[in-house]
C-alpha cells in the first residue's frame, strides 16, 4: 500500500477550485503514473470550469511530465521507462473503432467529452477511480489507453514550450493537415489566441505565401506575437475593414483558406465567405450553440467553397508540433506569458476566460510551484 499523498486543485463547483490531497493509487500492470512538470491552460478549460454538473474534478488536459511508475505490462507495451519525459494527450481512444483504426481517434466516441460517461483527461470526475484524471495535480494516472509523445530533454524543449504541444498541434491539424496551407496559399486566421497563433506557426512552417491574422485593437500584443511567428500582415478589425485589407494585400485575388478561431457573432460566416476566392476553404472551431440565420448559401455554391468544422488533433499533428519545437526556428517563448501554481488555478482559468484585466496568451500551471 502506497502512503504518498498527491496534491491537486479540484474544481468543486462552477468557478471554484480547492486544493485537496489524494492517496497515490496502486496501479494495475498495464497502467502507470505521470509526475506532472507543467500543464498548459487551454481555452476549453473555461466552459468546463463553468459547468459543475459532472461533479468535482481535476481540470487540465495538456500535460507534460516524467514517468513515475509503470506496471510491467505497460513497460512492455509502451516502450517507456521510469523517468522518460512525455507530452500526454487529453484523449483515451478505444483503439478498435473505425476512427481509431484510420488514425482519426479524435472522432472516436470514447474521446468525446460531450458524451456522457466518456473518460478523458481534464474533465472526468474524481469519483471515478483512481481520481487523478487532470493535469492541475502533482501526479496523473496513466490509463492503459493513454496517448503520449516522447519529448527530448528540457534543454531542447523547455517545459513551458512543451506545454503548447496540443494548441500548436491543433494549428498543424487545422491550418496544414485539414486546411492545406502551403506554398502559394494565402491564409487568413481570425483570432490571435493560442490556437490562432498555433495556426500561424503551422502555416508558416508549411510554406504559406501570405499569412494574415486578424484580431481586435486590444489584441495588439498578440498581433505583435503573430508577426514574430511569421504573420505577414495583421489587421485590427475594429479599426480596419478586413475584407478591404485582404483585397488590397492580395491585389484582389483573396484568400485560399480562412480560419475562424475568434468566436464573435454569426456574421463572421458571411464575412468569411467574402474573404475567399473560388474553391476556397472556410474552417471554424467555434460553437455558436444556435442555428445560423441568413447564411449566404449562394455565395458558398457560386464560389464552390468547402465549409469545415475543426475539432482536436491527430497523433501526427502533435508530432509535427513537437518537431517544430525541437527545430527552434520560431520564437515560441513569446507565447508563454504566465507560470502559475496550483493555488492560482482559479486565477489562471479566469484569465483564460477573459474575466480579468490582465491578459495571457499561454499559461502553464506548475503543480510544484509554491
Q: Provide the binding-site residues for Zn ion, judged by CB under 5 A.
A: 42, 44, 93-94, 97, 100, 108
Which CB sits closer to Zn ion, 24 or 259?
259
Phi, psi of 109 (to 5 degrees): -55, -30
Which CB sits closer to Zn ion, 69 or 100?
100
Instruction: Find the shortest distance in angstroms from Cβ 204 to Zn ion.
Output: 22
Which CB sits closer to Zn ion, 97 or 236?
97
Instruction: Find the shortest distance in angstroms from Cβ 61 to Zn ion.
Output: 6
Instruction: Find the shortest distance in angstroms from Cβ 190 to Zn ion.
Output: 19
CA dist 174 → 11, 83, 199, 260, 355 (Å): 30, 32, 7, 10, 27
Distance CA 365, CA 345 (A): 7
Which CB sits closer to Zn ion, 25 or 93?
93
SS3 175: helix
Instruction: Find the shortest distance in angstroms from Cβ 151 to Zn ion.
Output: 17
The strand pair at 233-236 and 210-215 is best described as parallel
Q: H helices within 4-68, ranges in order?
A: 45-50
CA dist 97 → 110, 235, 294, 313 (Å): 9, 43, 38, 17
SS3 350: helix
Q: Tally the C-alpha atoms within 13 A of residue 110's C-alpha that lie toward its C-beta.
A: 15
Which CB sits closer to Zn ion, 136 or 269?
136
Amino acid at each position: 500500500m502506497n502512503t504518498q499523498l498527491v496534491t491537486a486543485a479540484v474544481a468543486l463547483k462552477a468557478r471554484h477550485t480547492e486544493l485537496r490531497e489524494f492517496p497515490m493509487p496502486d496501479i494495475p500492470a498495464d497502467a502507470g503514473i505521470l509526475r506532472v512538470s507543467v500543464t498548459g491552460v487551454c481555452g476549453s478549460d473555461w466552459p468546463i470550469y463553468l459547468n459543475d454538473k459532472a461533479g468535482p474534478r481535476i481540470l487540465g488536459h495538456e500535460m507534460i511530465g516524467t514517468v513515475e511508475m509503470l506496471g510491467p505490462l505497460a513497460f512492455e507495451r509502451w516502450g517507456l521507462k521510469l523517468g522518460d519525459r512525455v507530452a500526454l494527450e487529453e484523449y483515451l481512444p478505444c483503439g478498435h473503432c473505425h476512427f481509431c483504426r484510420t488514425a482519426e481517434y479524435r472522432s472516436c466516441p470514447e474521446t468525446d467529452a460531450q458524451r456522457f460517461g466518456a473518460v478523458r483527461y481534464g474533465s472526468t470526475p474524481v469519483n471515478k477511480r483512481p481520481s487523478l484524471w487532470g493535469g492541475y495535480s502533482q501526479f496523473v494516472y496513466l490509463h492503459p489507453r493513454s496517448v503520449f509523445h516522447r519529448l527530448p530533454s528540457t534543454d531542447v524543449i523547455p517545459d513551458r514550450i512543451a506545454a503548447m504541444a496540443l494548441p500548436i498541434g491543433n494549428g498543424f491539424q487545422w491550418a496544414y493537415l485539414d486546411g492545406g496551407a502551403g506554398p502559394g496559399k494565402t491564409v487568413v486566421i481570425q483570432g490571435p489566441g493560442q490556437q490562432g497563433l498555433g495556426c500561424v506557426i503551422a502555416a508558416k512552417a508549411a510554406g504559406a505565401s501570405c499569412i494574415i491574422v486578424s484580431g481586435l485593437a486590444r489584441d495588439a500584443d498578440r498581433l505583435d506575437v503573430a508577426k514574430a511567428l511569421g504573420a505577414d500582415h495583421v489587421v485590427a478589425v475594429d479599426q480596419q475593414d478586413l475584407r478591404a485589407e485582404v483585397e488590397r494585400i492580395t491585389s484582389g485575388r483573396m484568400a485560399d483558406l480562412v480560419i475562424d478561431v475568434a468566436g464573435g457573432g454569426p456574421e463572421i460566416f458571411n464575412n468569411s465567405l467574402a474573404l475567399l476566392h473560388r474553391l476556397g476553404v472556410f474552417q471554424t472551431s467555434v460553437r455558436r450553440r444556435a442555428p445560423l440565420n441568413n447564411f449566404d448559401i449562394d455565395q458558398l455554391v457560386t464560389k464552390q467553397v468547402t465549409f469545415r468544422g475543426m475539432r482536436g488533433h491527430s497523433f501526427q499533428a502533435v508530432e509535427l508540433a513537437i518537431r517544430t519545437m525541437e527545430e527552434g526556428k520560431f520564437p515560441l517563448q513569446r507565447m508563454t506569458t504566465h507560470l502559475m501554481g496550483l493555488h492560482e488555478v482559479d486565477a489562471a482559468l479566469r484569465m483564460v476566460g477573459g474575466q480579468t484585466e490582465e491578459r495571457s496568451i499561454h499559461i502553464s500551471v506548475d503543480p510544484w510551484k509554491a
